[in-house]
Amino acid sequence: MFVDEATIRVRAGDGGNGCVAFRREKYVPRGGPSGGDGGRGGDVILVSSEHYNTLLHFRFNPEHRAERGRHGEGNNRAGRDGASIELPVPVGTMVYDAATGALLYDFTQPGERFIVARGGRGGRGNARFATSRRQAPRYAEPGQPGEERLLRLELKLLADVGLVGFPNAGKSTLISRISAARPKIADYPFTTLEPHLGVVAVDENRTFVVADIPGLIEGAHQGHGLGTRFLRHIERTRLLAHLVDVSEASGRDPVRDFEVVLHELASFSPDLAAKPMLVVATKLDIVQDPGRLEALRHLAEQRGLPLYAVSSLTGQGIETLKRAMADAVLGSASGQAAPHRMQQA
């Protein structure tokens, strides 16, 4: 199960109380105060990990609490510090304070650590308060409470290229063709119900990550179909590959499909619609009317977007598309490629 949102409550450990004690040993006159300090409470730490790609492990375990510090003891013995806990999160997780909505941290690299709740300070024992005028203090400090927070975790997958388009436009088939990803592929709408990532190797030194998200339909930004729930997963991408089915089997107009998806992207986020984009005409192997492809090509030229016609079944145009994607996100061997941006109509 793919879970990209979770709400958790974290509580750092309380500090241990200071101790009130006096030395009463034989042959030790006026032993004086000997109460030790309390230990510090443990922290709650979020750590980004490559071994997780979903927030599912928080779905049924939303409460997390670190250990409290031990109380101080006599004979100037300080209490032990409480143990901190580390909670693994996928790379790409954004941490929000659920009460204020403030963004606390954005995990973009593996191994990043963020203390989301700090443990309370331990209280001082009565030995700390002894002075020349107050030689037998009979009080100590209590430990400070640890921080408690309600957090909202939101996962945005990290990928270089995002695949967008109508349901059954060929996104899942394409990602299975160019990478080792194996999403479910079937001939009915909304086969893809969750995002998938695939690593594409162009040559020995150039690889990039592609994200396949569930298809969009007209009115998605209003909640139709699967809505725009998964569009957040391509907000971090550097390039969008807009797949359009140009075959007659879809029963739709490829030009209108193209315009509808662009409208849904712009309705979700103007920044997303303005990302560098290339157009991919799919299912070339079953196209009977070349005019459908030419109409889409003409529209892409008007908007200043490159178009690549491919067939994931036969492999036609796949290598050219892979290299175009790599050049756009990684730069070509002769220098950095200038990514194409969609011109406003």
Q: Which domains does the chain have, with CATH numbers?
A: 1-155 (2.70.210.12), 161-330 (3.40.50.300)
**What pLDDT does residue 217 have?**
63
**What pLDDT does residue 146 have?**
97
Does residue 149 or residue 177 have the better pLDDT? 149
Question: Per-residue pLDDT tens for 5-29?
Answer: 899 999 999 999 999 999 887 777 7
Q: What mean pLDDT is reported for the chain?
A: 85
58: which DSSP letter? H
Neighbours of 163 (CB within 10 A): 27
* Cα–Cα distance measured from residue 53 to residue 156, given in angstroms and rounded to the nearest whole number: 10
Containing 269, the helix (H) or strand (E) segment is: none
**What pLDDT does residue 342 have?**
45
**What pLDDT does residue 222 have?**
56
**Residue whose C-alpha is closest to residue 321's, from 161, 190, 168:** 161
Question: Per-residue pLDDT tens for 295-337?
Answer: 999 999 999 999 999 998 888 999 999 999 999 888 754 444 4
CA–CA–CA angle 249, 255, 257 (5° rounding):
65
> Tokens 């920044």 map to which residue?
271
* Cα–Cα distance measured from residue 114 to residue 92, given in angstroms and rounded to the nearest whole number: 14
**What pLDDT does residue 341 have?**
46
Check pLDDT > 60 for residue 161. Answer: yes
Q: What whole-number percentage of the chain has pLDDT above 90?
A: 50
Q: pTM of this prediction?
A: 0.74
Range with the largest mean pLDDT of 16-30, 33-47, 126-140, 280-294: 33-47
Whether 22 and 136 have beta carbons less than 8 Å apart is answered as yes
Burial pattern 64-84, b for ≥16 Cβ within 10 A else e, equals bbbbbbbbbbbebbbbebbeb
Q: How do 161-165 and 5-11 pair as beta strands?
A: unpaired
Of the given ranges (62-71, 90-99, 120-129, 204-213), which has the lowest mean pLDDT? 204-213
**What pLDDT does residue 177 have?**
87
Helix axes 254-268, 290-302, angle to 10 degrees: 40
Containing 323, the helix (H) or strand (E) segment is: helix 318-330
